[in-house]
Each structure stands twice: as C-alpha cells, then as structure tokens.
C-alpha cells in the first residue's frame, strides 16, 4: 500500500536525464507546470505528451513505474472530470436524467484530466531522476533569486532535505508499527470509517513519539557537529554547469516556447470549438 507512492521517490538508472544539473531540471519543471495552464487546445497537449514521452524514454525509468504514480490520483481526476462534464453550460450532446453533458463540458473535462496527469507525470519525472540531495541543492540555488526568501534559502533547503530524507524512514516506521500491532491482533482492514479511524491510535501515537525522538537525536547530532546554519558553510560537492547542461537548457527553452506557440494554432483537433 505505502509502497505505491512514487511521488518524491528517487529511481536511479544513471541516464542522461539523471546526470543533468538539478537547477536545469527545476527551472524546466517550473516553466512546464506554468505552461500547462496556458495550453488551450489539444495540439498543445499532444506536444506535451510527446515531450514527456521522450524524456521518460531517455530517463530509462519503466513506464509502469510512472503510471503507478498516477494511480493515487485517480479519484481526484475522476471527480474533476465528472464535475466539469455536467456543470459546464453549453450545447448539449447527451442527457442522463437531470444531468446534461455539454460539448464544452466534454472539452473542459478532457483538458483538466490531461492537465492533472501531465502535472503529476512531469513533476514526478523530476523527483524520480534527481536524488534528494541534488534536488535541495538546486532548490537552494533557485531560492537565492527570490526576494524575502533569499535570506532563509539555506534553512529552507535544509528543512526540505531533512523532510525528504525522513519520508522513507517514517514510512518504514509506520509499516513496522502496523505489523507489530497486527501481531497483537489489531485489525486495520475491516470495519466502518469510525472504527477504522479509532484503530489508527495504536499506530499514530508510537509514530509521533518516534518522530519526536528522531528529531531530537538529529538535532543533537547536528549540534555536535557544530551546525550553525548557512553562514560561511562551504560545500563538498559544488554544482557545476557543464556543456550538456547548457545544451539541455537551450533545448528546454525551445520546448517551452514550442508549447507556447501551440496556443496560437487555429485549426481545431477533435473538438470543433
């Protein structure tokens, strides 16, 4: 169950995409996410699909692994689709009792679903191909250019890397505690919502206690090594922008511009409006 969560996980394959500078990947992903909301016709989504497919192939991450990441979102996607399908006014194409499916609804629903899927796939490719340490290093660099936040860039990045570092640990811990309580006859699989929620107490309390204990231990360990925040701190691994990073940056800018250009295409694809 917990193992199905692929968002935020790192999947090492040593591909070209993995080797790219994290800063390039972060900038591209940000631009990509913004672009997704500008797209206004299916040509754009088609182009997005092609871009994502190429990157996925290059990254050598099994497609099944990425699709598993979408599974967790099926409910949200379904809800969006259904709501948009029936709630958008326009020309009716079919009626279902008191509900009417409009052509506009069909269009909006498709766009929303595609947008959500691409959003998740695009961002998970970034986290799948970038190790948490690279990711936070990249983030720290990017945050230096945002006013107000700039002062706390290091602290925020440190917090983020600690959080990322502890996601798998806490998941493991949860599973361990669940197993221990199951061994004592606890039942998490059946019963109604209220009894299931009640059954969580034997998991949540030990989990909180262990999280606090770990936080305490980590803080002590950091103090013991004289951690004093970002000031005067140097890095063992510097981020160095190489030729392949410049090349990929140019390519990525071209892709984003290309995506923007699709919004100007006037010839309709599938939807006649």
Partner 1 sequence: MSVEIKNLSHTYSEGSPFEFKALKDVNITIEDGSFIGIIGHTGSGKSTLIQHLNGLLTPTSGSVLVDGKDIFDAKKAELIALRHHIGLVFQYPEHQLFEETVQKDVAFGPKNQGLSEEEIDQRVKQSIKMVGLDFDAIKDKSPFELSGGQMRRVAIAGVLAMEPSVLILDEPTAGLDPRGREEILAQIKSLHSQKKITVILVSHSMEDIGKMVEKILVMNEGEVVFFDTPNRVFTEISTLESIGLAVPEVTYLMRRLKEKYPEIREDIFTVEAAKKEILKVIRG
How many residues sit in the footprint of partner 1 (CB under 8 A)? Answer: 24
Q: Judged by CB under 8 A, does residue 3 bind partner 1?
A: yes
Q: Judged by CB under 8 A, does residue 206 bind partner 1?
A: yes
Q: Judged by CB under 8 A, does residue 183 bind partner 1?
A: yes
Which of 40, 187, 246, 263 forms a contact with partner 1 (CB under 8 A)? 187
Min. distance of Cβ 213 from partner 1 in angstroms? 9
Q: Judged by CB under 8 A, does residue 246 bind partner 1?
A: no
Q: Stretches 104-112, 133-141, 202-210, 251-259: which one binds partner 1 (CB under 8 A)?
A: 202-210
Min. distance of Cβ 64 from partner 1 in angstroms? 8
> What is the SS3 string spanning the chain?
CHHHCCCCCCCCCCCHHHHCCHHHHHHHHHHHHHHHCCCCCHHHHHHHHHHHHHHHHHHCCCHHHHHHHHHCCHHHHHHHHHHHHHHCCCCEEEEECCEEEEHHHHHHHHHHHHHHHHHHHHHHHHHHHCCHHHHHHHHHHHHCCCCCCHHHHHHHHHHHHHHHHHHHHHHHHHHHHHHHHHHCCCCCCCCCHHHHHHCCHHHHHHHHHHHHHHHHHHHHHHHHCCCCCCCCCCCCCCCCCCHHHHHHHHHHHHHHHHHHHHCCCCCCCCCCC
Min. distance of Cβ 187 from partner 1 in angstroms? 6
Q: Judged by CB under 8 A, does residue 192 bind partner 1?
A: no
Restricting to residues 37-96, name those near partner 1 by CB under 8 A: 65
Site pattern 209..228 for partner 1 (x: CB under 8 A)? xx------------------
């Amino acid at each position: 169950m917990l193992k199905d969560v692929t968002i935020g996980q790192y999947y090492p394959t040593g591909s070209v995409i993995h080797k790219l500078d994290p800063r390039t990947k972060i900038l591209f992903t940000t631009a990509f996410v913004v672009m997704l909301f500008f797209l206004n016709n299916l040509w754009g989504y088609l182009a997005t699909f092609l871009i994502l497919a190429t990157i996925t192939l290059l990254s050598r991450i099994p497609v099944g692994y990425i699709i598993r990441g979408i599974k967790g979102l099926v409910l949200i996607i379904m809800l969006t689709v259904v709501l948009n399908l029936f709630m958008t006014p326009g020309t009716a194409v079919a009626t279902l009792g008191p509900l009417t499916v409009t052509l506009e609804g069909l269009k909006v629903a498709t766009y929303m679903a595609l947008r959500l899927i691409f959003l998740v796939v695009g961002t998970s490719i970034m986290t799948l191909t970038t190790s948490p340490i690279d990711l936070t290093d990249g983030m720290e660099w990017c945050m230096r250019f945002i006013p107000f936040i700039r002062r706390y860039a290091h602290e925020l990045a440190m917090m983020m890397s600690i959080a990322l570092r502890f996601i798998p640990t806490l998941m493991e811990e949860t599973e361990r505690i669940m197993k221990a309580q199951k061994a004592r006859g606890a039942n998490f699989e059946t019963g109604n919502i209220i009894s299931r929620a009640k059954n969580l107490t034997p998991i949540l309390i030990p989990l909180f206690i262990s999280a606090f204990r770990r936080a305490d231990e980590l803080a002590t360990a950091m103090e013991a090594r004289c951690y004093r925040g970002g000031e005067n701190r140097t890095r063992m691994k510097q981020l160095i922008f190489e030729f392949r990073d410049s090349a990929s940056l140019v390519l990525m800018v071209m892709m984003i511009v290309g995506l923007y250009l699709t919004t100007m295409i006037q010839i309709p694809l599938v939807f006649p409006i």
